[in-house]
Amino acid sequence: MTTFFGHPRGLATLFFTEMWERFGFYGARAILIYFMTARIAQGGLGFSTSQAAIIYGLYLSLVYLLSLPGGWVADNILGQRKAVLYGGIIIAAGYYLMALPGLVAFYGALTLVVLGTGLLKPNVSTIVGGLYAEGDPRRDAGFSIFYMGINTGALIAPFIIGTIGEKINYRYGLAIAGLGMTFGVIQYLAGAKHLGDAGYPPAPNPIARRRALIAGGVIAVIAIVIAVLASTGVISAKGISDGFGAFLTILTVVVFSALLLSPGWTPVERKRLAAIFILFLASAMFWSAFEQAGSTLSLFAQRNTRLSVFGLGFPASWFQTLNSIFLVIFAPVFAVIWVKMRNREPSTTIKFTLGLVFVGLGFAVLIPVANGTAVSPMWLVLTYFLHTIGELCLSPVGLSAMTKLAPARIAAMIMGIWFLSISVGEFIGGRVAALYEQFQLSTLFSIVALFCIACAAILVCFNRPMKRLSGGVN
């Protein structure tokens, strides 16, 4: 049997599926704020900056939130294989729809991308895991290769979708995102035979089906009511966002109260759940700053940064490639550093603290130039560098900590909780970006930087208690 860098051949199929999905996702994300804020005469939607930022935050928050039901539907009804296929088709349809004129098409398209990504993203990773037998030593390396697929897609997207979107027409750029996902789906279908036994549907489960239908129906009715109220002007984007924020808060409180107060845990498990809660808060805070990459920082690129180097101009969306470039370079470096430090390797809490410090520093370095115009592009390069270092301290570590701290029987749910923390972060980030024109930028960046560093200071005080709560897990 042929292999892919010494790994099961199915890894190549999933690598390219996810590469194309992320290509569309990060390409669309790179131009979304520009598309929404550009005047209608310039091919944009003519939204105010604050409305655009609120919608950006809502959209991304929903993308991550929907990966929870997406994982559940695959586990209980569809199986991961079909979930990825249907997800890919829905995403492609979404981007094509986004390229059509009119607000109904735009919001409908965002909804499709949210639904499709919820089906595809968590499940494609699950199939990667399913390619390896238990105890196969190649598993971690397999995930690292897969992560390169993610970042290859994200790395090239700004050059193609960003350039076409900004220089020719935003809608053409979005259609290219759809085309990318279409390639991904075709490639997935052609390569499905290599996936072995992974991802087939579970035995038919009428109870799960009924639950899914009822929940899906209730959500569809709520979505339609909101859409009607919004289109008739009864509620604004901010009103929807306020409601969604309240929903996320209640969801977080209910989930963690139910978990922590449930009587079935051993003392060790209960302490670990408390540790997960602390990491959850830190993670949400981190992503709320980091994910302003495509909102606050994109606006800063477009409005306050000189878009040329050595006399050669470039589109503002190209800054979005930097995170992936730095990640591809430094991910292996970090892997080596942690291994080299062996016994002196910092705890998860310290790594999270560093993540928060770096993301805060990324904003702090912009403070002196924040109120300038046509500032050197090197400032944003530095910011994205610091943000990537922060990401490398926190993101892979967070994923692995969740798997280690989770009581085994709720491992999938704890993964969902990690996605929920990103969803909360995306939401807060959108609301912060909505203040872009309300504050002087130096003030806005100072507030974000201070918040991150204050959270880091609080978190570091928890280092010792966290060791006790984590019960032997680092």
- Nearest distance from residue 26's CB to ligand GLN, in Å? 7
List of residues 6+ apart from 154 with CB closer than 8 A: 22, 23, 25, 26, 320, 321, 323, 324
| Euclidean distance between CA atoms 257 and 260, whole angstroms | 5
Which residue, 32 or 38, has its beta carbon nearer to ligand GLN? 32
- Nearest distance from residue 296's CB to ligand GLN, in Å? 16
- Nearest distance from residue 287's CB to ligand GLN, in Å? 6
- Nearest distance from residue 22's CB to ligand GLN, in Å? 6
DSSP-derived 3-state class of residue 374 = coil
Interface residues for ligand GLN in 228-287 (CB under 6 A)? Answer: none
- Nearest distance from residue 342's CB to ligand GLN, in Å? 27
Which residue, 52 or 150, has its beta carbon nearer to ligand GLN? 150
DSSP-derived 3-state class of residue 58 = helix
- Nearest distance from residue 196's CB to ligand GLN, in Å? 23
Interface residues for ligand GLN in 373-402 (CB under 6 A)? Answer: 395
Structure tokens at 340: 């080299």
Which residue, 10 or 429, has its beta carbon nearer to ligand GLN? 429
Supply φ then ψ for residue 99, to 5 degrees.
-80, -10
How many residues of this chain interact with ligand GLN, rule: CB under 6 A?
4
Which residue, 119 or 369, has its beta carbon nearer to ligand GLN? 119
Interface residues for ligand GLN in 132-171 (CB under 6 A)? Answer: 150
List of residues 6+ apart from 136 with CB closer than 8 A: none
Burial (CB < 10 A; 0-12, 13-18, 19+), residue 105, is middle
Q: CB atoms < 10 A from the CB of 408, how many?
A: 8
Which residue, 110 or 293, has its beta carbon nearer to ligand GLN? 293
| Euclidean distance between CA atoms 394 and 390, whole angstroms | 6
Sign of CA dihedral 366, 369, 372, 376: negative
| Euclidean distance between CA atoms 149 and 141, whole angstroms | 13
Which residue, 83 or 150, has its beta carbon nearer to ligand GLN? 150
CA–CA–CA angle 230, 234, 235 (5° rounding): 60
Which residue, 415 or 441, has its beta carbon nearer to ligand GLN? 415
Which residue, 19 or 38, has its beta carbon nearer to ligand GLN? 19
Q: CB atoms < 10 A from the CB of 179, how many?
A: 18
- Nearest distance from residue 271's CB to ligand GLN, in Å? 26
Q: Hey, what amino acid is at 412?
A: A
Binding mask 302-321 for ligand GLN (x = CB under 6 A): --------------------
- Nearest distance from residue 418's CB to ligand GLN, in Å? 8
Nearest CA to 161 among 47, 340, 26?
Answer: 26
Which residue, 187 or 395, has its beta carbon nearer to ligand GLN? 395
Which residue, 53 or 284, has its beta carbon nearer to ligand GLN? 284
- Nearest distance from residue 322's CB to ligand GLN, in Å? 13
Q: 422, 433, 448, 469: which one contacts ligand GLN (CB under 6 A)?
A: 422
Which residue, 18 or 269, has its beta carbon nearer to ligand GLN? 18
22 binding ligand GLN? (CB under 6 A) = yes
Q: Hey, what amino acid is at 61?
A: S
List of residues 6+ apart from 64 with CB closer than 8 A: 419, 420, 422, 423, 426
Burial (CB < 10 A; 0-12, 13-18, 19+), residue 251, is middle
- Nearest distance from residue 40's CB to ligand GLN, in Å? 31
Interface residues for ligand GLN in 66-125 (CB under 6 A)? Answer: none
Q: Do 279 and 422 touch, CB atoms closer than 8 A?
A: no
- Nearest distance from residue 395's CB to ligand GLN, in Å? 6
Residues 373-382, buried b or exposed e (16+ Cβ, 10 A)? Answer: eebebebbeb
Q: Do 284 and 277 touch, CB atoms closer than 8 A?
A: no
In the complex, the residues that contact ligand GLN under the rule CB under 6 A are 22, 150, 395, 422
